Amino acid sequence: LQHSFILPLIGIDRETFPSSLCMVSPWMENGTILKYLNDHGRANIDQLLSEISKGLEYLHSQNLVHGDLRGANILITNEWSPCLADFGLASLTDPTAATTTSHRAGSIRWMAPELIDPSRFGRSFARTPATDVYAFGCVCLELYTGRPPFANLSETAAMLRVIDGDRPDQPSSEHEMSGMIWQYINKFWAQDPATRPTAQEVARDMAQNFVSWLATQSPAPSEYIPEPDPSDSDAVWWAE
């Protein structure tokens, strides 16, 4: 995998833990995106979400499902960009069928309803591109609020709410979430996985949201550059 918003894989370590294979990646000294937002504020959340969505779009284009997308698994590079990390639950998938692992580990609060109770949806447990898109919707909420979905509820209560089709309310805080992104989030975590957008559509939506956010920002003052002095022999003048 080679992408600006994906943590590179250096190799596999077979010796540190003989009973397990370990993926080795570069150390990211800036830590997680949650730490970054806590340290630097949330002014550029929409840019970060757009970049994260591009990383997810790339993963899915390679027929890979991340499987555990959440703030703790998104790191910040030395260039201050986000990169998706922790591919311990990632799996190959046939884009035309839900054929992934039956291993049920994962982070409950970011899990789509069909992962929590597959039988209710008439399917077996399978991580799919649609479950990643659901988790991305949860990441959007998490980055804006600094808290996981249904943070005020126990995991069991949160699971029951998700299974019944309930979702967290739109947050109201100093880091106001626009109506546009809230509309997108509600598409991302739709109850029916078949109605959720693809990662490509998510990336398009988040790029549009970022452009809309940029349009609301005050333009930076232009740098004054004096015109060259015509008497200056070192000045170069171009004319058509």
Please write the tens of the pLDDT for every residue from 108-161.
Answer: 999 999 999 999 888 888 899 999 999 999 999 999 999 999 999 999 999 999
Confidence of residue 240 (pLDDT cuts 50, 70, 90): very low
Q: Which helix (H) or strand (E) holds 23?
A: strand 22-24
**Is residue 220's pLDDT more than 70?**
no
- 86 touches 68 (CB < 8 A): yes
How far apart, in whole angstroms, are the C-alpha atoms of residue 75 and residue 81?
8
pLDDT at 226: 54
Task: Tell which wins on pLDDT, 96 or 4.
Answer: 4
List the catalytic residues: 68
Helix axes 45-61, 129-145, angle to 10 degrees: 170
Residue 30: is it exposed, middle or buried by C-beta count within 10 angstroms (0-12/13-18/19+)?
middle
According to DSSP, the β-strands at 74-76 and 11-13 are unpaired
CATH code for the structural domain at 11-214: 1.10.510.10
| Mean of pLDDT values over 75-104 | 68
24-68 pLDDT, tens digit each? 667 778 999 999 999 998 889 999 999 999 999 999 999 999 999
Helix, strand or coil, per DSSP, at residue 16: coil
Cα angle value 133/199/142 (rounded, 5°): 40
Residue-level pLDDT at 23: 65
Q: What is the CA radius of gyration of the chain?
A: 22
- Give the pair of three-digit tokens for residue 196: 């959720």
Average pLDDT, integer, range 169-175 = 78
How far apart (Å, rounded) are the C-alpha atoms in residues 127 and 143? 23
Q: Enter the pTM of the model.
A: 0.80
